[in-house]
Each structure stands twice: as structure tokens, then as C-alpha cells.
Structure 1
Amino acid sequence: MWKGRKGGLDQAGAENQEAEPMSEETFDLELQSLMTEETGGKKKKKKTGKTWTRKRKIVTGAGALGVVFLLLRIFSGGGAKPVTVSTIPLSKGEVVEMLSVSGPVQGTDSVEVVSNLHAEILELTVKEGDKVEKGQLLAALDDKDAKKEVDIAQNGYDLAVSTYKDKQLEAENGYAKAKQDYGMAKAAYDRSLLLFQGGDISQVELDQASAAVDDAQRQLSSYPLTDGKPSANESYGLQIEKAAFELEQKKEDLDGTKITSPIDGTVVRVNCKVGRFADKTDDDKPMFIISNLDVLEMKINVSEYSIGKVAIGQPVEISADILNGETVKGEVTAISPTGEEKGGGSTERVIPTTIRVMDQNTRLIAGITAKAKIELQRAKQVWVAPLSAVLQQPDGTMAVAAVEDGKVRMIPVKTGVESDIEAELIPQEEGALTEGLQIIDTPSSMITDGMAVTAAPPVQ
């Protein structure tokens, strides 16, 4: 029996007597004695700033009393009392593995409206927050210079067309004459050939007739033909094409003096003012930013280490300060086929991913940062235990420690789907896990198979 610090261990009593209940006063003296420090051969009591309850004394002195129990076991040859462990009943449930990310909320379709015209803004017809339709007027610019440019371009085009027509007529007339000259030269040669064969003309005269045919042939061939018909030189056609392109550009510039919305949406930014030039906006920002805010989405970056578990169609739970504790539903709708640098000097790569907000008419707005929890995996009606209950054994395998008939039974398991605090348990042996089985919720590495323990419910 433990008699206190005066006489050390009373071995005879330890062997032959049962432990007697301690009084409150005796318990306090024993605890204080255990917590005494040896300093230069003298004993000092640890100071405390407040009075301890009996419960706190027991918890705090548990480690020291463990040493005493070990000494008892060594000196008495008897077994120590079973270790008290906290257990929970095993049951089936649901485990969800989530990936938490954050990113900006924005419209599903967003465009920047700009102008390269150095023209004064005469009128702004919208303001930030206005809903607009595709083709709706946003701003009107001074169009005087643009109209002059169109007139000049039109004149250039008309001149090119007129020149082409003149050259085309010349080609047709020239080709007709060349064709006639060739026919006459060919007929003269045929007559000369007959005369030469009859000995009426010399070889020189025949050669002259032949040369006249060749000259006429070359002249005829100098006229290009299109589908068998003569046409003006190709360069005149190219001049028309160039003039037509320039005219089209000038007309587009004139149309550009009426700034319109390219999509249905909401005006989220206006970076221009009446009296300023359209191509000289505030900080060189676009004149307008139009976004479709009817459907919102989040642009997030997923780590290369997690992207393998992310898939299109996975449900997402979205939260933000503006929602005041509420959440909205989302869904993964796009995953980039390529990764990019995370930045900040990190070698980790991230993959841009899009989450569509599925709930409509929420308080979410574009431009804020929201948090999203992507549901990676969900397991239903499976054995579930706290992650702290899964013990890694010396050989690297996993197990849970069940308490049966006052003894520990190690049950080998694998973990399936894991949340932040719980895990799906998959027994290595079929039927090893049963409903209501008492397992230790936080087993120590000192717990071994077959160890005697006393099961106690977890502290509430």
C-alpha cells in the first residue's frame, strides 16, 4: 500500500493489503508531494495562482500517479489497474470530402466597350447599374470628322471604279482591233504563201508576211482574258478593292460614333465623361464594362495537388459576408486544360476553374470575394469515426481500437472518404465492424492489442 513520501514504499503492505480509500486531506498531501521538485537536496512546492477543484487535481496529477502505478507494478509484482479510456459507439452515417477555395464573383458574360476614335463625347445615355439590351445606345460622339472621312473615301472609291471602267473599255476596244489586225495579217500571209508556191513572190516577201502575223499575234496576246473576254489590267481591280476597304473602314468609324452595347447585361463601370475624347478615358480604362449579372460565376484557382479530385458537375456550397451566414448552391462548370504559375515565388501550379452560381435572386453581387466548398466525394451509409480514432500502427497499417470485455482489440481498417474531422472506415475483414461497437475515440500509441482497459464515455 502507498503510505506517502515519509517511508517510501511499504513493500509488505503492498503485497498483502488492499488499497484504503484516501481522505480529501490525504489526497491533497499526496498530490503536493508528487509535484515537489528536487532543488539542491531541498524540496520546494510548486506555486499556483488559484485553488484547484478535486476534478482538476485528479486530471493534473494523472501523469504523476502513472509513475506511482508503474513503481507499484515493479515492486509488488502485481498488475496495475486497467487504464481508463474514452470510447464512443460506432455507427453508420455520411461522410463528405470538401475542398475549400475562394475567388471573385463576376458575371457569366462580361465585355469591355472601347473606342479608338479621337472624337468628343457629346452624350452619355446610361449610368452604372443600368440594365441594357444588345444594340442599345450608350454614348454619342461628335461625327463631323467621321462624315468628312466617309465622303473622301467615297470619292476615292468612285474614282477607282471610274478608272477601271475606262481601262476596261480600252481593253475591249484594243482587243477587238488587235483581233482584227491579226485576222488581216493571217489572210495576207495565206495569200503570200500561195503566191510563193506559184513563184510569183520571193522568199523575202513571204517572210515579211509571216512576221506581220507574229506581230499581230503578240499584240492580241497582250490583252488579258477573263472567261475568254478581255479585261482591264488586274491592278485597276485591286485599286477598287483597296478603295472599297477604306470606304468600309470610314463607314465603320462613322457608325462607331454611336457607342452601343454588344450584349444584354448591366452597366457595371462607366469610365468616360461628356466633353472628353472617346480614346482618352480615365486611366486608359474601357469606356464601359457590361456584364450579364443574371447568372453569376466564380473564377478560382485549384492547386495541382487537388485538381485530380475536381470534376465538372460537382456541387458547390458558396458563402460570403454579404449573405449573413446563408449559403447558395453552385456547380463546377469549367476546368482549364492547362495550369499556370501560382505566383509569389511558389513552384506550385494552379488550374483556373469556373463555378456557376445555380441559385437565382440571391444577395450575391459581382465584384466581391466569396468562399466555395466543392463537394469532392460523398459516402452514404458507411461506418464513420473521428479521424482521431484511426491509429497508425508500427507497420504503417491503420486500425481502430475497440474495447470488448475490458480488453483492447485492434481492428485493421482502411479509410475511404474523409472530411475535416471524420473518416469512412473500411474493415480489412468483413464483419469486423458492428453497430454500437465501442471504439476508443483518441487512442494513444501506447495502446496495444489485448491491453486491459476500462471504458468510459467521453467527457462532455
Structure 2
Amino acid sequence: MSSEEKISPEEFDKELESLLTGTPEKKPKNPKRKKIIIAATAIAIIGITGIKLLSGGKDMVPVVDTVTPTRKTIQNRLTVTGPISGTDSVDVVSNLHAEILEIPVKEGDKVTKGQPLAVLDDSDVKKEADIAKNNYDLAVTTCAEKDKEARNGYAKAIQDLNTAQANYDRTKALFDGGSVPKVDLETAENGLHDAERECDSYTIKNGSAVADDSYRLQIEKAKFDYEKAVEQLDNTILKAPIDGTVVRVNTKVGRFADKMENDAPLFVIENLDNLELEIKVSEYTIGKVAVGQEAEISADILNGETVHGEVTSISPTGEEKGGGSSERVIPTKIRVTDQDTKLIAGITARASIVLEESENALTVPVSAVMEKDGTNYVQEIGDGTVSWVPVDIGVEGDVEMEIIPAGGSFLDENSVLIAKPGEQYTEGMAVTASGKQGE
């Protein structure tokens, strides 16, 4: 470059100042000057936001947004949605192929345990019960007769055994005296054995002969059939199994009780005096949830109000989250502890559970903390230079987190931190605070 084409530092500074202030001085056209201005513009565009160019030949000092820590109570909350339902819910069904003659309740009715919900045609069931009763009575009568026959037969067998024993003893004595041949003794002995076998053929219980066990089994079967028939007869009047509210009636008079579309229950009864919310908690969070924890419940129906709840149960097993995710979730129930709320069963509500809480915590926005090589840092500005301060993370909220100075460092509410730290701000680097607080 020739000497007449060079531009002095003073001219460079004037051109740069006029460029940055937006009021450039009008200068004679000079191709070289134009190139310098274009180059300066490029530097301003590609520089870090907030960079201040002090002079043409001096170092550039970054201007950074800052935050100051605040002390407050910070919470880590879990917020999950789920359906509201009664704490007790029962589907009422019937396996009787019987016509429904009467339905004395409607949806919304409160019922007590044992109250009739529907009356079925019991004519066929009554016939079956009568037949079962006759079969049971016949089995009992037959067994009694067989018991009597056994007692009489056993008594005669004992008499025959005594007679055979006496005959054998007499014949044996005569044979020993040489008065009767051996064949007579053998005949008497065979008669004794036959009498013993006859006695042994009887079933003896408590010292008395009874009928064969097959007759008692017949009684048991007939009794079971009869009791089942009586139960079916009782089931022709469908009754509420719990105290609660009829929330669904899925049938009508004239239909058969066992013929329901899509296997829907005849009635659904829920205990709406005590409501609960069922949520699905991620496997990564469930370790911080425990039975007895308080919950805050909100729903559109509450118009901005909230009600209190309490975690009452956590399933011992997880299930698939669905949607192609490999994450598992654990069903968890929260009981609504407030009474007379606007909540109703069947709607969706939101539960907020405080998982962790720290009072008087030193907090900063989440974006004010950076991680490098497994250590968390904030970048503090002191005397115009950057210091990397290691910190431990306490309770993490949605937008803020608790920081605990580590390694003997110190931070308080007067500390000035870079709002968005980064590795470009090295230890000891000079920076200028913009005066603007980062979000």
C-alpha cells in the first residue's frame, strides 16, 4: 500500500465513531476508506452482543448482562394431570338370562348398600331352585335310607359272625377230640371267614354302620346346586353393593340382564363423598413421592381455586407410558381432603406435589449456571474480571435453582453473576456489566 493510500489512526477512530453513533461525517470519496468502513461494520456485526470497541488499536471488552442471587423459599414441584373418580367404584353386572322388569333408580340417585337397583323376571330361576331343592331332599332321604339299611345289615352280620365263631369253636373242639373229620373243621372255618368279610364290608363311623360315602357326596353336590339356585334367585333383585351414587345406568326395562353391548355394566356406582385423583408418575421422579405427601389440586371447574389432597397409594409396579416411549410410569392415587368442593367425578384435574423445598435458599435463574467436566459453575464479576465459582445444586425449580458455593468460595445477594455464562468468558477475563439484569 502506498503512503498516500494509508489512513491515520485518528481518521480511523473518527470513521468508527461516526459508524457506531449512526451520524457518519461526509468525507470525500476514497475507495480505501470505504473498504475500512465495511471491515469495521463486519467486525461490529460478528462480535459478541454487547461488545464495546474502545479504540481502533485497543482490546475489545465484552459487555454482559448480569444477575444477582436472591434469597427465598424454593420448591421443586411435580405437576401431573389425571382423572377424578370416587374412592370406591363398583360395576354392577348380572349373569342371569332374565328380563329386566323394573329399574327403581336413575343416574344421580344416592343409594345405600343393599338397596334394589333392578328387578328381574324370576320365574325360570324359581323353577330351577325348586328342582334343586327336590334333588337335595331326595339325596338326603336316600342317604338316610341307606344308613338304616347299613345299620340293620351290620347288626345281622355281627350276629352271623358270632354264630360262625361259636360253630367254629365247637367243631374245633370235636375235631381235637376225634369226633368229627377235618372236612367239618374246614367248613366251619370257611363260614367264620365269610362272616368276618361280611362285617368288614360295612363303613363304621363312631361305632355305627353308615351308608357308603358316595351317598354323602351326592348330598353335598345336591346341596351346592340348591344353594347356587337360591343365590341366583336372590340375584333376580340387583342390589347396590356399596353406599354411593348411581353414575351410570346402561340398560332399560325389557332388556335381558346378561345381554349388554360392549360388555358394559348394568350400573356403575361410585362413592362421590370421597374423591380421588389418579396420576401416572415417571419412574425418574417416583422416588421423591411418598404416601402422606400433600398435594394441591386444580381444575378448570374450580375457576382458579385449588383444593387440598394427600397421596394415599403408590402402585408396587410400573407400566408402559405408551406413545412409543420406553419410560415407565407408576399409578399413584391422591385423595381429595377438602369437603364440599366443586370437583366432580369424570373430569381431568392437575395435581401439584412439593417434592423438595428449601427455605432461605440462595437462588439464581437456571440459565445462570453452567456445567463443565462434571462441575457446576457460576461466573462472578469482581473488579471488572470474571471468576469461575464452583457451586453445588440444591433444590431445582422450573426456572430457578438453589446454588450452594463449593470449594470454600463465597456468594451472597450482592454477588454479580453473568446471566448467561459460557466458556468464552475465561478466568480473569475483563468484562463490563451492561447494567441490564438477565432474565
TM range (shorter): 0.7 to 0.9
The one-letter code sitting in structure 1 at the alignment partner of 2:376 is: M
With 317-326 and 111-120 compared, the bigger mean Cα shift is at: 317-326
Match of 2:327 in 1: 348
1:53-452 maps to which residues of 2 (within 5 A)? 63=45, 76=57, 78-80=58-60, 82-393=61-372, 395-430=373-408, 432-452=410-430
Pair 1:63–1:94, CA change in 2 (3 A): farther
**Cα distance change, pair 30–115 in 1 and its aligned pair in 2 (3 A):** farther
Tell me how far apart the structure 2 counterparts of residues 435 and 345 of structure 1 sit (CA, whole Å): 46
**Structure 2 gap ranges (5+):** 26-33
Counterpart CA distance in 2 for 1:407 and 1:346 is 46
Summarize deviations over 1:324-366 as a string: whole Å, max 9, x none: 2222222222222222222333333222222222222211111
Matched residue, 1:54: none
Contact 2:103 2:118 in 1 (8 A): yes
Aligned to 1:50: none
Instruction: Give, as a single letter, the amino acid of the residue that structure 2 aligns with 1:163.
Output: T
Q: TM-score, normalised by structure 1?
A: 0.84
Task: Check 1:64–1:346 CA distance in 2 against 1; reply closer, same or farther (3 A cut).
Answer: closer
The 1-side partners of 2:104 and 2:78 are apart by 45
- CA deviation digits over 1:16-64, x for unaligned, max 9? x9x89968x9822459xxxxxxxxx99xx9xxxxxxxxxxxxxxx9745
Counterpart pick for 1:27 among 18, 21, 25:
21
1:259 to 1:70, Cα distance in 2 relative to 1, 3 A: closer
Evaluate the alpha carbon distance shift between residue 254 and residue 67 of structure 1 in structure 2; reply closer, same or farther with a 3 A threshold.
closer
Relative to structure 1, is the Cα distance of residues 30 and 297 closer, same or farther in structure 2, using a 3 angstrom cutoff?
A: farther
TM-superposition CA deviations, 1:83-114 (whole Å, max 9, x none): 33333332322221122222211111111101
In structure 2, the CA distance between the partners of 1:179 and 1:434, relative to structure 1 (3 Å rule), is same
Query: 1:62–1:263: structure 2 CA closer, same or farther, 3 Å change rule?
Result: farther
Moved more, 222-231 or 328-337: 328-337
* 1:426 to partner: Cα distance: 1.5
Structure 1 residues 363-416: Cα deviation after superposition (integer angstroms, max 9, x where no partner) = 1111112222232211222211110111223x3421112222322222110212
What amino acid does structure 1 have at the position aligned with 2:177? G
Give distance in 2, aligned partners of 1:299 and 1:28.
62
Q: Report 1:29-44 matches (<5 A).
A: 29=23
Letter in 2 for 1:437: S
SS at match of 1:435: coil
CA 274–440 in structure 1, closer or farther in 2 if over 3 Å, else same: same
Q: Following the alignment from structure 1 to structure 2, what is the Cα–Cα distance between the partners of residues 285 and 68?
A: 67
RMSD over aligned Cα, in angstroms? 3.0
Aligned positions, number: 422
Cα distance between partner residues in 1 of 2:116 and 2:272 = 19
Which deviates the most, 432-441 or 200-209?
432-441
- 1:299 and 1:9, CA in 2 relative to 1: closer, same or farther beyond 3 A? farther
Cα distance, 1:447 vs structure 2: 2.0
Q: Deviations over 1:399-443 (max 9, x none)?
A: 112222322222110212111111111211346122322222223
> Scaled by the length of structure 2, what TM-score is found?
0.88
- Shift in alpha-carbon separation, 1:410–1:346, aligned structure 2, 3 A: closer
Tell me how far apart the structure 2 counterparts of residues 215 and 120 of structure 1 sit (CA, whole Å): 63
**Equivalent residue, structure 2, for 1:36:** none
- Do 1:271 and 1:282's aligned partners in 2 also have CA atoms closer than 8 Å? no
Q: 1:325 to 1:447 in 2, by over 3 A?
A: same
Q: Give the conservation status (yes or no) of the 8 Å contact 1:272–1:282.
A: no
The range that moved more, 117-126 or 332-341, is: 332-341
Instruction: Give distance in 1, aligned partners of 2:396 and 2:6.
Output: 51
